[in-house]
A and B are shown apart, each in its own frame.
Chain A
Amino acid sequence: SQQGEEDPQALSIQEGENATMNCSYKTSINNLQWYRQNSGRGLVHLILIRSNEREKHSGRLRVTLDTSKKSSSLLITASRAADTASYFCATDRRQAGTALIFGKGTTLSVSS
């Protein structure tokens, strides 16, 4: 089945720096989403980008989608210690429309 794969697996930066995470997937999608998970907690939805959109912003988050390359990126600008978390991309499943497929995640560590 199709799956988002995040890259890198882990990322360590200083406060104030930008963090970029990438996601690649295998087959056509309707939309792609990004979620954040703080240590030992549930996931929180960050942003959804549809297949006919190329870029979307939400606060310090910027998501791009390149359907020709089957890839997406999540940029967090001016990172804060509170951004320390795991970030997952998720894509829809064409054959079972209600469920998502999640990638394995990127672990971001922001130090002050």
Chain B
Amino acid sequence: DVKVTQSSRYLVKRTGEKVFLECVQDMDHENMFWYRQDPGLGLRLIYFSYDVKMKEKGDIPEGYSVSREKKERFSLILESASTNQTSMYLCASSLWGTGTGEQYFGPGTRLTVT
């Protein structure tokens, strides 16, 4: 079974803090994704990566950056957390060549910025 894990289920941070959200997958998937999910807005793509050290902006990259130094790990960084970044963050992965195929999701990190 594909397993995608996220470093925290719940996280509370203060405004202005630098926040790291970690995602690890164990199936040697090339593609990895970060989404945020907000009530009434559904899932919105923040960044994705199709290879180590490669990254592409999604629909809402402002205020975020990402890092992919190893194939299995994709990190989302909030450079200076703000209250409007309070949200559920979901990481996902998929195989190369089927990048628009099935995505496997982690359990999510609910981030609260106060």
Residues of A within 8 A of B (CB): 1, 30-31, 33, 35, 40-45, 48, 88, 90, 92-93, 96-105
Contacts and interface: CB of A to CB of B under 8 A. Distances in A.
Contacts of B35: 102
Contacts of A104: 40-42
Contact of A1 (B59, B92, B104, B107): B59
Contacts, number: 65
A41 B43 CA distance: 13
Contacts of A93: 100
Nearest to A9: B40
Mostly helix, strand, loop or mixed at chain B's interface?
Answer: strand
Nearest to A4: B42
8 contacts: A40-B110, A42-B107, A43-B90, A48-B102, A96-B56, A97-B99, A98-B56, A98-B100
Contacts of A44: 105
A92 B45 CA distance: 12
A42 B100 contact: no
B2 to A, nearest CB: 10
